[in-house]
Structure 1
Amino acid sequence: VYKLLNKITNLKKKIIGGYYPVNHEIGDLDILRKFEKKKIKISLPAIKDNFKMNFIKCSLNEPFVVNQYGIPEPSMGKVVYPDIILVPLVAFDKKLNRLGYGAGYYDRLIQSLKKKKKIITIGLAFDFQELFSIPVSKYDQKLDYIITNKNVLQ
């Protein structure tokens, strides 16, 4: 992930949106720690009561709280609009469609952010999570890249 992002953008001026892995999702915390060590701003999602998700600027050394879904999220911090979002997924296809858990948090957030600024979305997955085809609706947001343990799709 780090090598790919260094090729396509100047990371020093960017905010990276990550996630706290749960349910056997591919982990991104080591990647986020590497960004933090290099003084690149990181953020993690926090779910609001109205089924919306915001990214909160944070440090992995700060305390987290567990939300209603059992996912750790920043306990405090400023809402930010990431330039690059690392996206968890349940499954994906070669057309860069992703299947999440069905609540649409990431789809709504990505759609909203794209109206504000240019963003890069990167799905992180294991190779075995690839399906021939993912069912999509008009609300589903296609990713820019999907990085697996074996490939980079774009």
Structure 2
Amino acid sequence: MTDVPATDVPAEKRAARAEARRRRDLAAADAPGAARSVMERVLSGVPVPAGAVVSGYWPIGSELDVLPLLRHFCDAGHVCALPVGEGRGRPLRFRAWRPGTAMVEAEYGIMVPAPEEPWVTPSVLLVPLLAFDRAGYRLGYGAGYYDRTLAALRAAHPVLAVGVAMAAQEMDAVPRDRYDQKLDWIVTDRFALHTGPQA
């Protein structure tokens, strides 16, 4: 990526989001089997440690559906979790989830586990995105939840962050600044890419 003054990055990200969302919507319509392909590539290629707490997300809109993959991890004996927002500017927290868990509607219409479910700390995160590049950076929705969350988790213990997407969501270079957290893996319906250590 060419160097961009930090003051220009927010504007560049805003301009990229609308196009990235449009491309993701089109890709989702054209690739009904993408979620299964991603699941197979994660299971065959990503080294998820035995016993790791694995977080996913409740898909909204054209986001790739990772719930079948999360169910697989639950069946394999992993503790699984879904993110819960606690306000803009704060890292996500995670409540335990398994098939059949009672759910409640939260901010933005996202479903989250009911409050009686315990808090857990994931060491493997399946991360949604609007776009990605092969350096391992993602374009999110603009609130910075996952960047803050990954920074906080990585400061405490090793974390494996896996961006899941359709291959059509790839960009040559995602606009980024020093706060953006790199993903360890990008897994799509066409390939699994280990991106290397955080720069």
State the TM bucket, normalised to the shorter chain.
over 0.9
How many Å apart are 1:72 and its aligned residue?
A: 0.6
TM-score (norm 1): 0.93
Q: Which residue of 1 aligns with 2:45?
A: 4
TM-score (norm 2): 0.73
Aligned match for 2:107, one of 43, 68, 75: 68
Q: Calculate percent identity across the aligned residue pairs.
A: 34
Provide the secondary structure at the position in 2 that maps to 1:69.
Answer: helix
Asked whether the equivalents of residues 133 and 171 of structure 2 are also in contact (C-alpha less than 8 Å), the reply is yes
Identify the range of structure 1 (50-59 vs 36-45) with the bigger mean alpha-carbon deviation: 50-59
How many Å apart are 1:51 and its aligned residue?
A: 4.1
Distance 1:117 1:51, change over 3 A: same
For residues 134 and 87 of structure 2, what CA distance do their matches in structure 1 show? 34
Kindly indicate whether residue 178 of structure 2 is the aligned counterpart of residue 132 of structure 1.
no
Aligned match for 2:148, one of 98, 108, 114: 108
How many Å apart are 1:35 and its aligned residue?
A: 1.0
Structure-to-structure mapping, 1:48-127, within 5 angstroms: 48-49=86-87, 51-52=89-90, 53-76=92-115, 77-127=117-167
Kindly indicate whether residue 148 of structure 2 is the aligned counterpart of residue 148 of structure 1.
no
Q: Which structure 1 residue ranges, 5 or more long, are not aligned?
A: none
How many Å apart are 1:46 and its aligned residue?
A: 0.6
For residues 68 and 57 of structure 1, what CA distance do their matches in structure 2 show? 18
Runs of 4+ residues deviating >6 angstroms: none
The root-mean-square deviation of aligned C-alpha atoms, in Å, is 1.2
How many Å apart are 1:58 and its aligned residue?
A: 2.0
For residues 86 and 9 of structure 1, what CA distance do their matches in structure 2 show? 11
Kindly indicate whether residue 33 of structure 2 is the aligned counterpart of residue 33 of structure 1.
no
How many Å apart are 1:4 and its aligned residue?
A: 2.4
More helix by share: 2
- 2:86 aligned partner, one-letter code: K
How many Å apart are 1:57 and its aligned residue?
A: 1.4
For residues 32 and 80 of structure 1, what CA distance do their matches in structure 2 show? 15
Name the count of aligned residue pairs.
Answer: 151
For residues 97 and 38 of structure 1, what CA distance do their matches in structure 2 show? 29
Kindly indicate whether residue 83 of structure 2 is the aligned counterpart of residue 45 of structure 1.
yes
Provide the secondary structure at the position in 1 that maps to 2:61.
Answer: coil
Provide the secondary structure at the position in 1 that maps to 2:148.
Answer: helix
- 2:58 aligned partner, one-letter code: Y
Identify the range of structure 1 (50-59 vs 118-127) with the bigger mean alpha-carbon deviation: 50-59
Q: Which structure 2 residue ranges, 5 or more long, are not aligned?
A: 1-41, 195-199
Tell me the alpha carbon deviations over residues 49-73 of structure 1, each in whole angstroms, 9 at most, x when there is no partner. Answer: 3543101112231111111211111
